[in-house]
Amino acid sequence: MPWWSWIIIWVLLALALIGMFVVSGIRLFRKGVAVFDELETLAGKLDVLDAASDAADETRQQLAILAGSEETRRRRALVREAALDRREARHDARIARGRRITTVDASTRRWFG
């Protein structure tokens, strides 16, 4: 083998290595850009969750034993009133449904015979 064939082989190997580095670098850059885009999306979601968490912390109730008897009675009265309102709403809905079922509409009445 002549000496210049070794130079050609090594030049081709070096070019292949450089090409591999370029292709790997491009792929790595694209993946890095995709990661930063996903991190940006995640940061937006975390801002929403953080705001929701702050709102939940503000609405968290104090323990009844620490609130005092008057505050506890007031809270319990509100809970009972809300339950009574829900019960009445369910009752009214049942009555309305029963009336709808039992009423006869002349346009839908069929005569057999």
The yes-or-no verdict on residue 113 having pLDDT over 50 is no
> Tell me, what amino acid is at 95?
I
Question: Domain boundaries in the chain?
Answer: 64-100
Q: Encoding tokens for residue 95?
A: 């009555």
How far is 71 from 60, CA to CA, in rounded Å? 15
**What was the pLDDT predicted at 42?**
93
Chain CA centroid to CA 28, Å: 30
Whether 75 and 65 have beta carbons less than 8 Å apart is answered as no
The yes-or-no verdict on residue 57 having pLDDT over 70 is no
Q: Encoding tokens for residue 112?
A: 């057999």
The yes-or-no verdict on residue 87 having pLDDT over 80 is yes
The model scores a pTM over 0.85: no
